[in-house]
Structure 1
Amino acid sequence: MSSPEGPVGSLASISIDCPDPDSLAPFYRDLLGLEEVFATPDRGLIALSGAGPMVTLMRVNTYVAPSWPDGPQHKQMHLDVAVDDLDTAVVAAVALGATEAGFQPAGQAWRVLLDPVGHPFCLSTVRPD
Structure 2
Amino acid sequence: MIARLQCTVLDCPDPQELGYFYAALTGGDVDRPDPQWATDDDWTTVHTPGGPVLAFQRAPDFRRPRWPDPDHPQQFHLDFAVPDLATAHAEVLALGAEVLDHVASGRSWNVYADPAGHPFCLVGH
With structure 2 as the length reference, what TM-score do the two structures score?
A: 0.50
1:35 matches 2:16:
no
Cα distance in 2 between the residues matched to 1:41 and 1:28? 16
Match runs of 1:96-111 below 5 Å:
none
Give me the identity figure in percent.
28
Cα distance in 2 between the residues matched to 1:76 and 1:59? 12
1:69 matches 2:64:
no
Q: Which has the larger radius of gyration?
A: 1
Structure 1 or 2: more strand by fraction: 2
Match runs of 1:1-129 below 5 Å:
7-36=1-30, 37-38=32-33, 40=38, 42-50=40-48, 51-76=50-75
Letter of the 1:44 counterpart:
D
Aligned residues between the structures: 72
Cα distance in 1 between the residues matched to 2:45 and 2:16? 11
What 5-or-longer segments of structure 1 have no aligned partner?
Answer: 1-6, 78-129
Cα distance in 2 between the residues matched to 1:23 and 1:63? 14
Deviation at 1:48, TM superposition (A): 0.8
Structure with more contact order per residue of length (Cα contacts < 8 Å, sep ≥ 6): 2
Cα distance in 2 between the residues matched to 1:70 and 1:41? 32
Evaluate the alpha carbon distance shift between residue 67 and residue 28 of structure 1 in structure 2; reply closer, same or farther with a 3 A threshold: same
What 5-or-longer segments of structure 2 have no aligned partner?
Answer: 77-125
